[in-house]
Amino acid sequence: MLGMAAVHRVAAPSASLGKMGELVTRHMPALTVYGVEVHDGCMQHDYPAMELLYMTDAYDYLLQSHFVAKAVYFPKTMRRLQEGENAEHRRLHVLWNARFVYAA
């Protein structure tokens, strides 16, 4: 387990995909989670959703509201989901692969 977060909602694929959006929802489901708390041993792990979700036609529209509008660099590691560049604690809405979410 990499950490914990609150589930905010199911992330809908871009409306521009039309009927392909149904396939995306079935085969590449994503959630928006909030307030990620990363376990200490996982801080340097890669944040997998950057390439696997945000950099796709299905979810790239969320880059603006999740990062650009908040002047946040795109997080590459799990540490950057909970800490800023100056180690300040922050709470972000971010994407997570819905297939790797477990309820506690």
Q: What are phi and psi of 82, to 5 degrees?
A: -115, -10
Provide the pLDDT for residue 55.
Answer: 95
Mean pLDDT of the chain: 93
SS (H, E, C) the chain: CCEEEEEEEEECCCHHHCCHHHHHHHHCCEEEEEEEEECHHHCCCECCHHHHHHCCCCCCCHHHHHCHHHCCCCCCECHHHHECCCCCECCCEEEEEHHHCCCC
Prediction pTM value? 0.89
Domain ranges across the chain: 3-100
Q: What is the pLDDT of residues 41-77, one digit of tens each?
A: 999 999 999 999 999 999 999 999 999 999 888 999 9
